[in-house]
Chain A
Amino acid sequence: MINSKRIPLREQDSKIRVKNFEEVCLGYSKEEALLEANRCLGCKKAKCKEKCPVNIDIPEFVKQIKIGNIEEAAKIIGKSSSLPAICGRVCSQELQCESQCALGLKGEALAIGKLERFVADYMIENNISITYDINKNNKKVAIVGSGPSGLTCAGDLAKFGYDVTIFEALHEAGGVLVYGIPEFRLPKNKIVKREIENVKKLGVKIETNVIVGKTVSIEKLFEEGFQAVFIGSGAGLPKFMGIKGENANGVFSANEFLTRNNLMKGFDENYDTPIKIGKKVAVVGGGNVAMDAARTALRLGAKVSIVYRRSENELPARAEEIYHAKEEGIDFKVLTSPIEIIQDDKGWVKAMKCVKMRLKGADSSGRKRPVEIEGSEFILDVDTVIMSIGTSPNPIITSNTKGLNVSKGQCIVACEETGQTSINGVFAGGDAVTGAATVILAMGAGKKAAKAIDKYLRGNGIK
């Protein structure tokens, strides 16, 4: 008899965790992981594997957990993913692997993400790393950006034998994993740094403080002896609404707010970077970044509202994050859109004028279109506004690289299967190509590009 419910996860109590930046979900113990793994039916034609963007052999690694062979489980995951401790935590499993799990038809799907996380954490906690036989081929590849796509592409290329260097613009490697996703969802020292160390153990070099397009051009990288380049520079340019008063003091992009807190550790008074948060904060937007910003503001002592223009059903954030945000006391003002930020006489945010929305029909992407309800304006009493309405790719690289084709939305044009761009030997993937998406999709793109780069440098050509 198979239990239709998953083994519950231990979490920090919501009353305690709102006062700290420690991880909320505590993960499975070995016993709990074994019990959960035993729920897996071990399907022959495993749909979970098909729905994983990097096609981890899920039934196989779960089988190894069942028999208690965690190291072997890690090796199976390692064949497909270089960052399992991260993906197990931040993937939208309910839309990917877990969405097609047979157990989900009658009960709760297998907790695949949490099992992957358990395996990766077990390896980190017990200081075990997987060793690979690498035959070096002395060919140099440059990777631009150390986020999920760059790290994955670098890791795979290193395993193929390439001499890989990652160039990172910020002072720490990790991209959105270090500046965007908060500590309480993804611990930096315990998890992200260790996982990046594992990529370095494969021989990957990381040069921080190098802005490709400014410090060095892609052309110059080829002159330095790199034979191929992968651009994984992400989509880090914040969008603003363009409403009146948006430059008032106290209006931040979610990127700025989260970078100050996560990368610069503004919440810790031993660090020099200041962070300013008022008593009543509105976070505009409904994605994962909005949830992260809201829950961060809450932990800094503010009362927080999420202001979202569609209804609760359309919130793009992960179900788990929405659940956690509500549990922590974040107020959701849905079907609401800001139209003006009102300032006091010193130029600080005093309030936000909003309008009520209703949903009508569907737009070109199939999402319900929000329209303003006439005469429904009201004033929201806030002193800080965090704009989290999306990001687009940063134009520094594209505007400084001759011959690199970009789309209207500033995205790099690249072949979906190979990542090949309009320049020979230059590949791209992740948010830089797709616009803001997810960690695991970026990793998938990094993997595909690594294969294509290998093929290209073996001289087979891919065009």
Chain B
Amino acid sequence: MYEIVEKKQLAESIYFMNIKAPRVAKAAKPGQFIIAKIDEKGERIPLTICNYDKDKKIITIVFQVVGESTRRMSLLNKGDYFRDFVGPLGVESQFVNEDISCLKNKRILFVAGGVGVAPIYPQVKWLNSKGIKADVIIGAKNKDMLIFENEIKNEVGNLYITTDDGSYGMKGLVTDKINDLVNIKNKEYDLVVAIGPMVMMKFVARLTKKLNIPTVVSLNPIMLDGTGMCGACRVTVGGKVKFACVDGPEFDAHKIDFDEAMKRQSIYKTEEGKKYLKNIEGKTHSGGCGMCGGDK
């Protein structure tokens, strides 16, 4: 059993939790993820590690309510437990194993979309601890959905913010900001790391390919065990089939078949929706469109 020692709501439907998981905290590295399971009947939910503290033995996760399992997770409070919490899974970010003096010469740009800010955090923090200041673009729907601004600000060189509606920072998408920095302000980058919704990563990859900047993304396909034994998370990278849980989750963005990856994310869409509605609407849920009424 893994205790929730802290819980905060960061924005509408976005939650922060510190989980006591000594073994995971001891072994975690930037770029890796965990799998959490609420209780006996719960499913296994993969989440990228947002922070780790070896001394306090905690792992921080940040998640957005997108379906039934994350909704159930959001109802847990400080002092509650996860039945299962396993990790760290996946391969750490590639730069962790690079030569530090080489790394210091690299100009790195992180691009985070929505709740994707959370997995960016351990990476920029790790780089900062080695004396490397990266630039970061955070894209949010609006000002209220912006999270982790202050935490990130302290670890980076320049922080740029975009919102879809212009309620904070620049109005527009993260790709607009990349264009602005590279094409107008003539900034040069040797590496882009993008984490966020699959569609955002796809468009960042498309742009950076044109700009000729090597780009890494962290994929978030459907996962089951997270240890390489099922292939639910398989993606095509450079024409080869890879399992995101063991070969990734980070891959060369310019080699990924994003359309296939997005299509595979939708496999259980209707099942998930049905379950979500059933539990939100209780017995009144008719299993249909909600317009026809169950009892007529």
Contact = CB atoms under 8 A, between A and B. Distances in A.
A423 B22 CA distance: 28
A249 B263 contact: yes
Contacts of A255: 229-231
Contacts of B229: 236-238, 255, 259, 394
Contacts of A259: 224-225, 229-230
B43 A237 contact: no
Given A256-B230, A347-B263, A394-B229, A272 B69 contact: yes
Contact of B272 (A210, A274, A396): A274
Query: Most chain-B CB neighbours within 10 Å: which of A250, A253, A272, A394?
Result: A272
Query: Most chain-B CB neighbours within 10 Å: which of A265, A346, A396?
Result: A396
Nearest to A346: B263
Nearest to B88: A214
Interface in B216-240: 224-225, 227-232, 234-236
A211 B69 CA distance: 23
Query: Most chain-A CB neighbours within 10 Å: which of B230, B234, B275?
Result: B230
A205 interface: no
Interface in B62-101: 68-69, 72, 83-89
A74 to B, nearest CB: 31
Interface in A220-255: 236-238, 240, 242, 246-247, 249-250, 252-253, 255
A238 B84 CA distance: 24
A272 B241 contact: no
B23 A215 contact: yes
B interface SS class: mixed
B264 A273 contact: no
Contacts of B268: 274, 276
Given A247-B260, A256-B224, A214 B27 contact: yes
A252 B224 CA distance: 12
A264 interface: yes
Contacts of A346: 263
B17 to A, nearest CB: 17
Nearest to A253: B231
B42 interface: yes
Contacts of A246: 241
Given A169-B86, A259-B230, A273-B43, A247 B224 contact: no
Contacts of A273: 43-44, 224
Contact of A171 (B23, B83, B230): B83
Query: Most chain-A CB neighbours within 10 Å: which of B43, B72, B227?
Result: B227
A347 B35 CA distance: 28
B246 interface: yes
A250 B234 CA distance: 13
Give the interface size bracket for B toward A. Answer: 35 or more
A271 B86 contact: no
Nearest to B40: A271
Nearest to A172: B84
Given A171-B37, A274-B272, A347-B260, A209 B227 contact: no
Contacts of B27: 214-216
Contacts of B228: 236-237, 394-396
A216 B85 CA distance: 14
Interface in A144-199: 169-171
A209 B85 contact: yes
A211 B21 CA distance: 13
A169 B226 CA distance: 10
Contact of B224 (A210, A260, A396): A260
B241 A215 contact: no
Interface string A202-213: 000000111100
A233 to B, nearest CB: 10
B267 interface: yes
A396 B226 CA distance: 11
A271 B83 CA distance: 14
A137 interface: no
Contacts of A242: 241
A8 to B, nearest CB: 38
A240 B84 CA distance: 29
A395 B246 CA distance: 9
A215 B271 contact: no
B192 interface: no
Contacts of A347: 260, 263-264
B264 A249 contact: yes
Query: Most chain-B CB neighbours within 10 Å: which of A240, A250, A255, A394?
Result: A255
Given A210-B23, A259-B225, A272 B231 contact: no
B183 interface: no
B284 interface: no
A138 interface: no
A209 B84 contact: yes
A211 B43 contact: no
A171 B89 CA distance: 14
B266 interface: yes
Given A246-B241, A247-B236, A259-B229, A171 B86 contact: yes
16 contacts: A169-B225, A171-B44, A171-B83, A209-B85, A210-B23, A214-B87, A236-B227, A236-B228, A247-B260, A247-B264, A256-B224, A264-B43, A264-B44, A272-B72, A394-B228, A396-B227
Given A215-B24, A274-B272, A347-B260, 20 more contacts: A171-B37, A171-B84, A214-B87, A214-B89, A215-B23, A236-B227, A236-B229, A240-B234, A240-B241, A247-B264, A256-B224, A259-B224, A265-B41, A272-B43, A272-B68, A273-B224, A274-B271, A346-B263, A347-B263, A394-B246
Interface of A: 169-171, 208-211, 214-216, 236-238, 240, 242, 246-247, 249-250, 252-253, 255-256, 259-260, 264-265, 270-274, 276, 346-347, 394-396
